[in-house]
Structure 1
């Protein structure tokens, strides 16, 4: 199941330096697929501010190649920007977590609210089916 920037699927190939994934693994990709890896933002795990980052919803990458994001048949992604999806989770249920889920989790983690025993309320989060093409 593919959405423009909430991409889930099965790994069909891995590069020689890939350590996180093997062929057949379920994987998910949010809105980022690449960054420079060397600027201050990247060095501090803030790739979303990297001026060289490439998003799944960017029209063209830096080489001029057209990017189709989740509408692609195949997507090449830096392993840093991919996450493992447990085998027992259905892909169509996981995809929305790569946008709505991380939108809620990321600030919780940033502010230290991801610790066991903490209580937090999230208001206004719901999944909406919409076409944005």
Structure 2
């Protein structure tokens, strides 16, 4: 038995419409499905990346904020591969997204940088 890949990563957001705009209009993820779950007063938005992996975006009323600084145990960040960290960073900045300075991974020699979603979830761009 072996795992064959990551199907999806799920996140909970504080402002559903703001996060939907960020992930679809700014990051360009494709909407697979969008459902409102009345019993939970919650949206579930399934988004797909070009490689087929997915991001599930949930909204829940009164969800607690994610502790980040100092970093808490659990998921540290979500990394996306891009052809050019420089080009994608320039694109994000042109859309008003704050991006950290580009760095080079000391072990792989690959370029990367971090930015955040509307809730401050750390996101990484990693050059393929």
Q: What interval of TM-score do these two structures reach, taking the shorter chain for normalisation?
A: under 0.3
Using structure 1 for the length normalisation, give the TM-score.
0.20
Choose between structure 1 and 2 for higher RCO, CA contacts under 8 A separated by at least 6 residues: 1
